[in-house]
Chain A
Amino acid sequence: MNPGEKEQYQRSRRYFVGIPKGPRGSQTRSFVWLSVTVFTITFFLVVAIRPTLITIAKFNREIKDKTEANEQLQKKIDTLIVAQEVYARNSDNLALLDEAFPEKSEFPRLAYFFEQTATASGVTIKSLNFERIGGTPAKGQDTSSPSGQNLNFTLAVSGDYLRLKDLLTELESSRRILKITESSFSRVKKGEEFELQLFISGEASFGKKS
């Protein structure tokens, strides 16, 4: 500044306005306010928005799970209704199922059936044995099946071949479910004559495994 300009400045100094450090101060203020805004957003994101969104997500998931459960239960209810109809239609036939697969061993009835069938077939019962119910099975011998227990029996009858064969057929077509596990013919000398004997061993299922 030369002396002339300096003098002129002194004269007109009162007309000058002190302008603050404009651009730099304004930029700082902007950054500060922007930072405050960002921190505020962050704060509310942590304390308000996050818990709210998590709750919404959990409810959504719960609704989805419960809707699926509802569908599954509805499906089950539908099948139960159908099963109820089938039961009502076949309730008269349930006695047949009890005969085929009784709850208890019913061995007197089974013995009577063997006797009746043997008489009808014209053969003679030589022996009839039932395994003791509730007894401890021998090692390696499983007397129970997945659906119930088994009553093992052995039957020895004598007669001619055709009648013995008839007896076997009758036993296989009995209403009580019998599983013939073994059958064998043998000739036994009785006095002067030979007698044909049939040995049958099998099992009759009963009851339900608890």
Chain B
Amino acid sequence: MKRNSSQEIFIIAVFTLTVVSLWVYLSINKALHKEDQPVLSPQQTKVLNPTLDEEVFQELQKRKS
């Protein structure tokens, strides 16, 4: 079937829309999964261990100074 120029323009338009849609999807995907610099440094996120072996003090008190 012979196509006229308007049909060809339409096919090009649809192809362009498809490519642009794919590009937009990839851009959004990249923005969502981009590894930026972390908000906090490892030193800031380091959690202290607040437990203390208090029996050590009793043991030290028993010892001679």
Contact = CB atoms under 8 A, between A and B. Distances in A.
Nearest to B63: A175
B7 A31 contact: yes
Contacts, number: 115
A94 to B, nearest CB: 9
Interface string A33-73: 01100110110011001100110011011000110110011
Interface in B47-65: 47-52, 54, 57, 60-61, 63-65
A175 B65 contact: yes
A100 interface: yes
Contacts of A57: 28, 31-32
A38 B40 contact: no
Nearest to B9: A35
A69 B39 contact: yes
Contact of B32 (A28, A60, A86, A113): A60
A2 interface: no
B59 to A, nearest CB: 9
Interface residues of B, number: 39
B50 A83 contact: yes
A76 B10 contact: no
A170 B64 contact: yes
A79 interface: yes
Interface string A69-104: 100110110011011001001100100110110000
A90 B24 CA distance: 60
Interface of A: 27-28, 31-32, 34-35, 38-39, 41-42, 45-46, 49-50, 53-54, 57-58, 60-61, 65-66, 68-69, 72-73, 75-76, 79-80, 82-83, 86, 89-90, 93, 96-97, 99-100, 113, 117, 170, 173-176
Closest CB pairs A-B (n = 8): A31-B6, A38-B13, A83-B50, A82-B50, A57-B31, A69-B39, A175-B63, A93-B57
